[in-house]
Amino acid sequence: MLGESDVRLTAWVHGHVQGVGFRWWTRSRALELGLTGYAANKADGRVQVVAQGPRDACERLLDLLEGGNTPGQVDKVISDWSEPADAIAGFTER
């Protein structure tokens, strides 16, 4: 159930982030933060992370994605903030 203060974070993670457990790691962090959404490999080598929930939890996830302690090697993260869209059940790897 979406709350009044909920947001949607869409983050495009650039670097060596496929085949290194990055989506699993992201899913684990997002679930710890109580977020819903998904992490998906893209054909160009990026991982797209979509997370919905309280803004502070989404900001914490973004900090973790940018923090340097991820699997693989993150070169940069491009983030976009928006209103939450349809509710997403759980947090999945795609």
Structural domain harbouring 80: 6-85
Q: pTM for the whole thing?
A: 0.93
Does any domain span residue 27?
yes
Q: Give pLDDT tens digits for 23-33.
A: 999 999 999 99
Does any domain span residue 71?
yes
Q: Give pLDDT tens digits for 33-67.
A: 999 999 999 999 999 999 999 999 999 999 999 99
Does any domain span residue 53?
yes
Does any domain span residue 24?
yes
Q: Which of the following is catalytic: 8, 23, 29, 46?
A: 23
Mean pLDDT computed over 3-12: 89
Q: Are strands 91-93 and 36-41 parallel, antiparallel or unpaired?
A: parallel
Amino acid (1-letter code) at residue 64: L
Active-site residue flag, 41 = yes
Active-site residue flag, 23 = yes
Does any domain span residue 90?
no
Confidence of residue 3 (pLDDT cuts 50, 70, 90): low
What value does the mean pLDDT of the chain take?
94
Does any domain span residue 15?
yes
Helical ranges in the chain per DSSP H: 22-32, 55-66
User: What is the total count of domains within the chain?
Assistant: 1
Q: Which of the following is catalytic: 8, 29, 41, 55?
A: 41
| CATH number, residue 60 | 3.30.70.100
